[in-house]
Structure formats: C-alpha cells, structure tokens
Chain A
Amino acid sequence: MSHDHSLNPETMPEDPAKATMEGKHKFLGLWIFLGGETVLFACLFGTYLALRNSTAGGPSSQDLFGLELVFLMTLLLLTSSLTSVYAIYHMKNNNFKKMQLWFGITALLGLSFLGLEIYEFAHYITDYGFTFRSSAFGSAFYALVGFHGGHVVFGLSWLIAIMVRNAKRGLSLYNAPKYNTFGLYWHFIDVVWVFIFTVVYLMGMVG
C-alpha cells in the first residue's frame, strides 16, 4: 500500500478534505467545536445585553457608534467569507494555485477588517475615553467585540501559516482537511459578526 497523499487527476477524490479518516475527524470535530463556541458567544452576548445600558455616566452606545465604519467592516468580512467559498471550490477542482489566490484575498479582507476594528477601538479610547474599565458597558462591549476580534486574529494567523507552509507543495489529502476546517471556522466568525452587527451596533444606535 502506498502512503503518498499527493493528488493527481486520476486519484483525485470527490472531496479531498473528507477523503481520509483524519479529514473526516477534523471536519466533524470542528463542527462540534463550533457548537461549544456558540455557547461561548451566547454567554458573552447575554452579558452584553445585561450591561449595555450600564454606562456609569460615561458615553453610551448612541454617543459612540457610527454606521458607516461598521457597515464597511461588515462588508469586508462577509466578502471574505464569500472568497473563502471560492477557494474551497477550487480545492475541490484540484486547482491549487487558484485556491491559494482566493485564500490570499480572504486573508487580505480579514486583515483590513482587523485594521478597521483597531481604528474603531482607538477612536473610542482616545476621542471618548471609552475603555475596558470605564463602565460595565465598556467592559461588556470590549469583551464581546474583542473576543470576536481575537478569533479573527487567530484565524488569520492560522490561514497564513498553512498557506505559507504549503505554498510549494501543492494540494494533498494531508493538507486539504486543514484548509477545509479553516474555511468552516471562518464562516462561523462571519456569522458571529452578523449577530454583533445587529445586537451591538444596530440595536445600540436605536437605543
């Protein structure tokens, strides 16, 4: 039996990410992990909802949030999810170069999202004195949005690491599951952001 996992058109299975036992395990494992992550964010949302009006005399959500910036951020992140779908599509067609290209675009979009988020936080801190410590609202806001941001940072580092590592090696049954699980994770981050956009920003601006 040969243990060469690299792919050529004849040996290319239907879905390289789930063709091996390890691939199946990773795929299911990540789904299950996301179940746990859902509870994690649910708890953070709950905390935020309980504390969102506890401004302790400091700035409130209406004072702070601006729709333009957050809308742009949402756009960037949603688009990055779409580009990662393209990347996985090319993976299934065994087109490594295009897959790397679309994942590269995904990473760039993610990085710009992150840049804007850092800008946003800096803006709140310097212009409004609104920090992690200034009120319970501040603590809850930075905890929720920051946790999401942390997930974005982790996801981007992960993506860049596997892209660099495999740049010269092409697609194989060994690395396909890694890209695939990343893709799933990235969609999840996107979904969480949609909730943040709604619950934190939209509801926050209405009051």
Chain B
Amino acid sequence: MSIATTQKRGFGAVLWDYLTTVDHKKIGILYIIGGGFFFLLGGLEALLIRIQLIKPENDFISAGLYNEMITMHGTTMIFLAAMPILVGLMNYVMPLQIGARDVAFPFLNSLGFWLFFLGGILLNLSWFTGAPDAGWTNYAPLSVQSPGHGVDFYVMGLQLSGAGTLMGGINFIVTIVTMRAPGMTYMRMPLFSWTTLVTSILILFAFPALTVNLFLMMFDRMFGTAFFDIGLGGNSIIWQHLFWIFGHPEVYILILPAFGIFSEIIPTFAKKRLFGYTAMVFATFLIAFLGFMVWAHHMFTVGLGPVANSIFAVATMAIAVPTGIKIFNWLLTLWGGSITINSAMLWTLAFIPSFTIGGMTGVMLGSSVADYQYHDTYFVVAHFHYVIVGGVVFAILAAMHYWWPKMFGRILHEGMGKLAFWTFFIGFHLTFFIQHFLGLMGMPRRYWVFLENQGLDTGNLISTIGAFFMTFGVIVFLINIIYTAVKGEKAPADPWDARTLEWAIPSPPAHYNFKQLPLVRGLDPLWIEKTEGKGKMTPAEPVDEIHMPNGTILPFIMTLGFTIASYGFIYQVDHKGWLIAVYAGMAIALGCMLIRSLKDDHGYHITKEELEREAD
C-alpha cells in the first residue's frame, strides 16, 4: 500500500488501521515513529543538560530538575529511542531479508509494540508530577529513598516496555528459525538478519533480570519489602548486580544490530561481497557470549575484591578481540571495492573511526585499577557516547537513508542528507571528544554545576557548542523527511543495485511481501541472480493462495489495561482507592487475554485470482 493510497482514506481509517495492524512492516514503521518521537524528546533533554553546563555555576535549571533531566535523558535514549528504532528496523527488514511473509507471531508483535509505546508514555507522564531522578541506572538505596512518585514511574514504565521487548525477541527467534525461504540456510542469511537473531537471544536472556529487578524495586517502594533495606537485612548491591547482568548485554543489544546494518551497507556500496562472512557471524556470537560475562566491570569500585575485579577485567578486554575482527572485516570489504559515497555510506564510514575510539576507551575502562580513576567521571560519559552515538545512532541514520526507499517508496534527499551528516558528525566530536579530558581532569558525571577556574570552563563551552551542531543536524534530517514525503524522488524496487532479498520486491512491498516465495541459491541471493541468472529471483513455488493473519484491536486494549493498572499501582501508595484502577486495569488486560485464547481466529486467505490481478 503506497503512501498516496493511504492518504486518500480518512484519518480515522488510517488510525484504526495502525491500531489494529499485525503486519510486521506497519509495526516496524510504528516502532520507528514511536522511537523517533522519544529520540527527539531525549535530545531536547540532552540539550537542556548541555545548556546548564555551558558555564560554571550556572543556574539555568534547578538542581532537582537537572537530576530528573539526566535520568530521563538516559532512560529515554536507551529504552525508548535507540532500542525501539532498531527493533523497528529488524521488524521491517528481517522478514524481507529471509524471504518470509510475516513474523511467527503477528499478534504478539503488535502487543510488543503497544507495550513499548504506552510504557514510554507512562514514563514520560511523570514529567507532570515529578520525573525519576536517581539516574538511568536507578541505584538503590538512592532510588528507594527518592521522594515522590518519579522512580515509581520509572519502575512501571520500564516494566511494561521491557515486557514488550522480550516478546519481540522471542518472536524474532522463532521467525528466523522456522520461516526462512527455501534455500535460505543459516549461512546464507544476511548479516543484519544474523544480528537480529543474536540480539534477540541477548534480549531473551538479559531482560528477565531487569524484570526481576524492577519487581524487587516495586515491592520495596510500594509494598514495604526489604530487599534493598539494610535495616532489615537487605542488600542494595543486589540491584547493581541484577541491573548490570541486564545492562551490559543491553549495550550489545544496541550495538549488534548496528553492526548488522553496516554489514549490509558496506557490501552494497563497495560492490563487494562482505569480507569474512563466517568470521563475522562467529564474532557476533562471541561478543554475545562474552557480553554476559562482564557485567561487574561497571562495579569495579564497589569493592568486590581483587580476584573478582581481575576476572571481570580480563573478560572485558577480551571483547575487544571479536569487535576488532569486525572492524578489520569492514575495512577489508571496502578495500579495492568500487565505492559509492552517499549519505548512508557517509554515516557508515564515519562510524568506523568514531566507534573504534569508543572501543579503545572501553578497554582503558576495563582495566580495573585504572577504572578507580575514571569511574563516574566525564571520561565514562565520553566512552559510552562514542559507542552509542558513534555506533548506534550513526547506524540508525545510515539505515534510515538505506532502507527509506524500501519502506516509503521515496529516496531521501542527498544534499540535505550530507548537510545533516556533516553538521552532526562535527558536532558529535566537538561535544564528546573534549569530555575525555574533562573526565581525566576530574570532572564528575551527574553533577549539576562545576566551579570556575578549575580548567573545566573552555571544555564545557566547546562541548555545549557541539550539542547545538548536532541539534542543527537533526533538524535538517527532519526537514529532509518532510521534503521527501512531499516531493522526494520515487524509488524503484532496487535503487542501490543491492544484494539481498528485500530489494527483489517492490518499494514499498505488498502487504504479503512475496507473491511467490523466492528460491535462494546462495549468500547475497539477488546479486547471484544479477550476475549469473536472469536478474530476478526464481520463485520456489507456484502462485497459490496466501494465508494471512487478521488485524485486531486486542493488543492495544490489553496494553491500555496494563497501563491503567500500573497507574493504579503507583498511586495506591497514597490512597488505597487507587486499587480500583489496579483491579480494573488487570481485568481489562486479562479479559483481552482470555478473548484471545478462547476466540478462534483462523486468519484469512488471499486468493489466487486476487494475486494474479496484481502486477509483480
């Protein structure tokens, strides 16, 4: 369904369509829009933080508000912006890449999206009554003591959106295992699909730790339990352990899809097969595995003792090896390729050095003795922004330029793409490079103000100027989106002369993706057909009717129920009357679950005749 035809239907009809859709492509777009919205919100928060730090002893925002700002910035960017946008891309692209007509559990897919989105909205509603202020890491006992309801919103909002992410992960794994097109063996899967699989495995094993942790925090704050209450024998370090058992894999949940994106873009625009495909797959698994072994490197200064610290330090530094393998494989793919440089490629080329800097500071931080100096300073802030912005955000922007034509049928404007890239790229390094030195000079992170004449003034000023450059870049990108929607160049099925299956079908694809499932003859299947076939995929089956799932409003209503119940949980602390909201919300949610389980839903079929009427 192209944009033009959707616009002809009324707004109500479109809204209803998106509220009830179970199509992985529409859900993918919803994720990207939702994540994009939170990205702008988180960006605004970042800008306010940087304005506060533009000069010594500034009082642009109050100390309390500053704490809320840093907390919401981090939480929003990780949980509500970066991850959902990546999940959106995986949702849209992965089924196309493996030659599937949908994901394994379309209903769950929609439920996952709504949980993420309403969870994020719930978290942000806290702005009206006082946002969480204990940092995105929400350490106990600070978080348990934090007055008001801010931290409660953190707990409930993340619980909802975390549940949604977990469902997405399970869905992707089952999809990849069971729904690959004929001939699409594992070792012929594009790297983005591989990283989707491995990321989903990480989600599966990491998120339950967050779930448990949030429950413990919820019980402590709302029901007076003693998990983190030293007075009753509790132990606040448990929060830190569970948080990082989740948290370190989480950073790989963010970066692995980014690696996947670059592994698609580089071969396409270098016109070369990905160098060391097998090594890339292997390195992905190795990173995922090691990612679970290193959580305590965030806790070097807690006092776990020299033995634990040494083990975790060694494990941490080991991750640099598979990561390095990847960097070299990308470089060697570029080597001798016939390279096209466009916006997608610019973000990709900029990623390589930027991310490598982040990786190197990571190894520095991984040295447990040195970390006593770096910990909780701006050095850490510089490190993780180099990996997250230089890695994940660059990847998202590269992916937008790369897959935009497939998703919306139009090509983003190149000039504006390049302008956005250069301003953002320069702004990024201006903002964060200097922060390494601010950190080494002892500037602590999460402090509201810094003092004059301690050698921190110029550095902070430069850093804030950089933030404005990045803001400018983002605004140009937004204008580009609007411009492209109105008068962007129409995209053919395969605008980049690319290699993988998603480019073998129209842009945007029909709602059933593939009229006939394609026969895959090797890695980069479309490229194989271009070089040694007839230039398009050979069908693996005759045209026959296609089974499709029905759309449903249940996931949305179910999530609404959970959200109401969460609100009730937060406020029943003040007044037991709010328990009504808990019961009502749970009744709605469980009622929907019951309907889902008991009402037969066999889906529908697209008939052969209908398919034959539509052009290829």
Contacts and interface: CB of A to CB of B under 8 A. Distances in A.
Interface of A: 1, 3, 5, 21, 24-25, 28-29, 32-33, 35-37, 39-40, 43-44, 46-47, 50-51, 53-56, 132-140, 143, 158, 161-162, 165, 174, 178
B232 interface: yes
Given A29-B170, A56-B226, A174-B602, 10 more contacts: A29-B171, A36-B170, A43-B242, A47-B238, A53-B233, A132-B224, A136-B227, A136-B233, A139-B226, A165-B598
B104 interface: yes
Contacts of A161: 594, 597-598
B178 A47 contact: no
A79 B111 CA distance: 35
Interface stretch (B2-10, B180-188, B210-218): B210-218
- Most chain A beta carbons < 10 A, residue from B224, B231, B234: B234
A51 B219 contact: no
B216 A47 contact: yes
Contacts of A165: 597-598
Contact of B233 (A37, A44, A56): A56
Q: What interface size band does chain B fall in?
A: 35 or more
B194 to A, nearest CB: 17
B225 A132 contact: yes
B229 A136 contact: yes
Contacts of B238: 46-47, 50-51
B209 A133 contact: no
A136 B545 contact: no
B221 to A, nearest CB: 12
B488 interface: no
Contacts, number: 121
Contact of B177 (A28, A43, A53, A138): A28
Nearest to B241: A46
A18 B205 CA distance: 26
Interface string B250-291: 000000000000000000000000000000000000000000
A40 B234 contact: no
A40 B235 contact: no
B105 interface: yes
B597 A162 contact: yes
A174 B600 CA distance: 8
A1 B546 CA distance: 12
- Most chain B beta carbons < 10 A, residue from A33, A138, A178: A33
Nearest to B237: A50
19 contacts: A3-B605, A24-B178, A36-B204, A36-B207, A46-B241, A46-B242, A51-B238, A53-B233, A54-B234, A56-B233, A132-B219, A135-B226, A136-B232, A139-B232, A143-B216, A143-B227, A161-B597, A161-B598, A162-B598
B223 interface: yes
B331 interface: no
